[in-house]
Amino acid sequence: MRRAAPSKTLLQEGSFPQLQTLNQPLLPTILDFVVTLTVASVLAAGGKVSQRLPHYEVRPQQLEMAEAVEKAIAANEHLVVEAGTGTGKSFAYLVPAILAATAGQGERPSADPDDDEPGGKKSKSKKSAAGQRRKVIISTHTISLQEQLIKQDIPFLNAVLPVEFSAVLAKGRSNYLSLRRLKVAGERAMSWIADPQDQQQFDRLVDWARDTTDGSLSDLEFRPQSRVWDEVQSEHGNCLAKKCPTYDSCFHYKARRRVWNADVLVVNHALFFSDLALRREGVSILPDYDVVVFDEAHTIEQVASDHLGLGITNGQVEYLLNKLYNDRTQKGLFVNERHLGLQKGVDGCRHAARDLFQDVRTWLATEGDKNGRVRQPLEIDNQASIMLADLARRTEMAANLIPNEELKIEFTSAAERCNRLAELIATWVTQATEESVYWIEVSGQRQERTMLASAPVEVGPVLQAELFNKVPSVILTSATLAVAGQGFEFVKKRLGLTKSTGVQLGSPFDYKRQVQLVLVEGMPDPNLQPMDYESAVCEKIKEYVLRTQGRAFVLFTSYKMLSNCARRLTPWFVTQNMGLYAQGGELSRTQMLEKFKADKAGVLFGADSFWQGVDVPGDALQNVIITKLPFSVPDHPLLEARVELIKGRGGKPFFEYQIPEAVIKLKQGFGRLIRRATDHGMVVILDPRVRTKSYGEVFLQSLPDCRLVVE
């Protein structure tokens, strides 16, 4: 390999923390520093990883992916990679990302994030030229993958790689405790604590604050009520920055400095797209970056839609107003008798907001579409926005008269919240954001929760302009991105990715040996005979669950069918002495999984969230039963609008959108079964359309090659 001139920063005294863990002679390790590192020198046979792990098995798919990522970053290109389960995707993108983040001579110029407040002006960190160090963001969808990266994969590579780098888990600001606000909340306890449980939780927070070094929610042993945490959390509009007496010990700013100066940031998709939405307004949460790697990239369109749209509930409005003044409990920021005018203003806003949401519900019940879609601006009197804006103005005026700086900023923050809420409501009522779909959601046992929602019909144009055209290299990877016969065409169109390289890699697992794919003949058509189909599904669930003595996931496409089948089959499960864990009951998703894993004959009935992001390796799961092909029924306003848009362009939405989307989701469901090389079992598809319809072949060809049995 080619020798490179040693970097001063690599050879200076004290720059070899890895030497103590490598357990190798000093001289070879120093020589490693002057050898040009490539992903092959790390992941190939005889590389850094194999030197550290005696039983390490080189995976050709992993090395091929890593080299593709390395090439894309070096060339400032975008890359789409589908890599099957077991490829080792995290190392395949982490290694080239770390090498890119540590390339070149000298240190990256340190940034001072404190001058660029979150929610303030967008940071102006330097962009990296070719050959220089790059700022890298790794974004995941699930917390479990995020924890794997930050607690296992990155620390291991930090010990193995002969380069120095820092990696930080970036969290949203509201995750951190504000020491100043904690003190103020204690002084104001009489004005906001109305419940003994709230007082108990606050006291626990005070005790925790003395010991915690992290200061974030993840370090807490309990989950505080939102009304308690909201009083003490760090937030942009309620921050004194360098003027704050607790600035030097502030948990948020300590974390922020680490984030701003880190080489690699690990974030979740929600935080990334929250930041992207803010960047459209010229502000940011995260520092500028040169490379983004999206793992679990099949979820991007959904998450981006959520964060580029809006959702306002009557509960949000009531919550804010109650924090300002609650006439029933006589609690709130404005409880002081000097603020009688503001108290009346809050009451006025409360009545106006209730009238607004009642008018919306009335319109929905009398004139609205069944799915809640609002196709044109509603002709309703939006006094709520007017009164909230007026309350914000008067709250700001009151803040200017308050000598106490800490109380003053509480008022200023309240004014900002009122103004923001007024703007959002007005935006929804007037449908001010173009190319978006608007709808109403009513839920709750007594239909008491009302949401005013909107989302861009397509996120592609926004992502093209704000992400792919601005970031030098974006890497998209998942086990499920390609559709048979189309490759990556579907996902690229949906995300607005016009130019990229694509790599499709199979899994190193032996699916022919490990998996039996069962297709069932003679089932009724689920569209033409829905009741007969449901009855037949119940019978087939019995048959196939018995084959593996439980240890099965049964995946549904609707909660209605799931609950119907669970109700019909519960007596049968009792006779078989098998545990049945059905989504929608009292157990949370996490609790269901824990009980299922501990049950040697358990069966889990799951809907949407169990098709992906669930990892049950080993004998606990040997059977995945797919009740129906996972087509999204376009009764949701957003899906309906997407179908209409494709039709309006002269396209065929069923073939262009609904089939590819369902294929990717089916691949996710299939992927729940085999999580490691020793796993084995069966996947049963009960939907006859996979064989009776011409499009069924697309689904089958998109799945890994395994033993196919028709019964």
Specify the CATH number for the domain of residue 615.
3.40.50.300
- Dihedral sign for Cα 101, 165, 262, 301, please: positive
Structure tokens at 104: 């070149």
Q: Please answer whether residues 232 and 176 qualify as being in contact, where contact means their C-beta atoms are separated by less than 8 angstroms.
A: no
CB-side neighbour CA atoms (13 Å) of 115: 6
The reply to whether 519 and 544 lie within a common domain is yes
The predicted pLDDT at position 111 comes to 54
Residues 653 and 692 in one domain: yes
**Relative orientation angle of helices 179-187 and 405-430, to the nearest 10 degrees:** 100
Asked if residue 305 belongs to a domain, the reply is no
Q: How far apart (Å, rounded) are the C-alpha atoms in residues 322 and 357?
A: 17
- 405 domain residue, yes or no: yes
Residue from 223, 232, 112 nearest 176 by CA: 232
Does residue 515 lie in a domain region?
A: yes
DSSP-derived 3-state class of residue 441 = strand
Tens-digit pLDDT profile for residues 89-119: 999 999 999 999 998 634 444 555 555 454 4
* Same domain, residue pair 502 and 530: no
Question: Taking the mean position of all CA atoms in its chain, how far away is CA 696?
Answer: 31
Residue 294 lies in a domain: yes
Task: Sort 376 into a burial class: Cβ within 10 Å, 0-12 / 13-18 / 19+.
Answer: exposed
Cα distances from 271 to residues 224, 275, 277, in angstroms, run 21, 6, 10
3-state secondary structure 605-672: EECHHHCCCCCCCCCCCCEEEECCCCCCCCCCHHHHHHHHHHHHCCCCHHHHHHHHHHHHHHHHHHCC
Q: With a cut of 70, which residues of the chain have pLDDT below it?
A: 1-35, 104-132, 447
Q: Where do we find the tokens 């046992």?
A: 445
| CB burial string 383-412: b at 16+ within 10 A, e below | ebbbbbbebbebbbebbeeeeeebbbbbbb
All residues at 6 or more sequence positions from 120 whose CB lies less than 8 Å from its CB, including other chains? 236, 283
Say if 467 falls within a structural domain: yes
CA distance 225 to 403: 31
- Count of CB atoms within 10 A of residue 650's CB? 6
Q: Is the dihedral of CA 681, 686, 691, 693 positive or negative?
A: negative
Number of alpha carbons in the 13 Å side-chain half-sphere of residue 649? 9
**Is 328 within a domain?**
no
CA distances from 170 to 138, 159, 216, 477 (A): 10, 21, 11, 20
For residue 228, which of 172, 186, 270, 173 has the smallest C-alpha distance?
Answer: 186
Tell me which residue of 403, 394, 404, 171 sits closest to 266, measured CA to CA: 171
Q: How many domains does the chain have?
A: 4
Please classify residue 702 by burial: count the beta carbons closer than 10 Å to its beta carbon, then call 0-12 exposed, 13-18 middle and 19+ buried.
buried
- End residue of a domain, out of 483, 506, 529: 506
Query: How confident is the model at residue 509, as a pLDDT?
Result: 93
Give the separation between CA 374 and CA 558, rounded to whole angstroms.
24
Range of the domain at 424: 335-432
Say if residue 237 is in the same domain as residue 126: no
Residues 280 and 183 grouped into a single domain: no
Domain membership of residue 322 (yes or no) is: no
- Answer positive or negative: Cα dihedral of 486, 491, 496, 499: negative
Q: Which two tokens stand for residue 43?
A: 């992941």
In terms of domains, do 185 and 174 share one? yes
**120 and 199, same domain (yes or no):** no
Q: Looking at the structure, tell me whether residues 19 and 141 fall in a common domain.
A: yes
Distance (Å, whole) CA 388 – CA 179: 29
The rounded distance, in Å, linking the Cα atoms of 637 and 116 is 38
Final residue in a domain of this structure, among 231, 261, 291: 261
pLDDT (tens digit, 9 = 90+) per residue, 340-363? 999 999 999 999 999 999 999 999
Q: Does 448 map to a domain? A: no
